Copies of this chain bind each other. A is one copy, B any other.
Amino acid sequence: MIQRKNENWFRMLFIWRGSVLPKVLPRLILLLILSISIVYFKGKLFEYKIPLNPAPFTLFGIALALFLGFRNNASYDRFWEARKIWGALLNDTRSLARQALTMSGYAEDSKEVSTFINYLIAFTYALKHQLRHTDASVDLTQRLDPVLAQQLDTAKYKPIMLMKAMGNWVQQAKEAGKIDTIVQSAFDDNLNKLSEIVGGCERIASTPIPYSYRVLLHRTVYIYCFLLPFGFVDSLGWMTPIIVTFIAYTFVALEAIADEIEEPFGTEPNDMALNGMCSMIENTLLEMAGKPIIDSPPVKGYTID
């Protein structure tokens, strides 16, 4: 996630870092060169004038903008839903921590409560690693007892196995007479929500926007942009390359951003800052349990990963 202070409206026009411009620049330069040659040859291809004018581009440009808007909306909705789910993870781990601290009958500084808080933190990291297809073993070994950490090492759905461990913890608390079935149910409600959180993340990660959509819109955007100079060369003359590149910048960049935020769990600049969130959840749970807070990783070049 890119985190920059709001700049003055004028300086914002010339921002490089955090903009998607670096990514799409090669394509725009290619288009610029093409446009310049088209102007130079006055829209002719092998002595033959391409008979195009702005009319079909107006008609179709607006339709294209509409379809791009749809793609964009769908991508942004995915991004925001993913963010909501991680927000729910924060809420739910806090609620479970509060329940463990104030309803479980164990003392706040007991080993049992500490174990449960660690389950929650490990759960958060396990989910992050599953979504990013990275290795969870370091983060888990650090926070769990060796036996469980080893069991998880071979598990395919690690967060789910941790949830089962939490379920067992609650059951043991009940068997130890610390809680009754009603409190168990209260824990269980929040565990159900955790289950929804894992499933929600998996859903977004495993189901992209239908592939055919993306191919169709991608093609339409690029074919449109590369035909554009032919349509405007007669009326705009040497302004054609500038105008065409400007229009293409918006269309192409919008598609590129939509492409990036569509998979919000990745590590591209506009994706969610899962590392930052994990560390934040860890800190708030540690503070609740009366333990020292760990420093957050520093922000590098406006980007939190």
Instruction: State the A residues within 8 Å of B (CB).
Output: 1-4, 6, 9, 12-13, 15, 18-20, 27, 50-67, 69-70, 72-74, 76, 79, 83-84, 87-88, 90-92, 94-95, 98-99, 101-103, 155-157, 160-161, 163-164, 167-168, 170-171, 180-186, 188-192, 195-196, 198-200, 202-203, 207-208, 210-213, 215-216, 218-220, 222-223, 227, 232, 235-239, 243, 246-247, 249-251, 253-254, 257, 259-261, 269-270, 272, 283-284, 287-288, 293, 302
Contacts and interface: CB of A to CB of B under 8 A. Distances in A.
A199 B287 contact: no
Chain multiplicity (copies): 5
B13 A218 contact: yes
Given A56-B54, A284-B157, A270 B212 contact: yes
A98 B166 CA distance: 10
B91 A235 contact: no
Given A58-B59, A170-B102, A2 B196 contact: no
A281 to B, nearest CB: 10
Contact of A65 (B2, B67, B185, B238): B67
Given A56-B247, A94-B198, A186-B189, 12 more contacts: A9-B222, A56-B243, A66-B66, A94-B160, A157-B288, A160-B287, A161-B288, A180-B181, A181-B182, A181-B183, A210-B270, A212-B270
A213 B69 CA distance: 13
B63 A191 contact: no
A57 B54 contact: no
15 contacts: A13-B223, A51-B236, A53-B235, A60-B246, A70-B73, A94-B160, A94-B199, A95-B195, A102-B168, A183-B184, A185-B186, A190-B192, A210-B257, A210-B270, A216-B250
A247 B202 contact: no
Contacts of A227: 243, 246
Given A19-B215, A87-B202, A156-B287, A54 B62 contact: no
Nearest to A91: B199
A236 B53 contact: yes
A210 B188 CA distance: 35
B185 A185 contact: yes
Given A207-B1, A287-B160, A20 B212 contact: yes
A151 B223 CA distance: 58
A302 B253 CA distance: 27
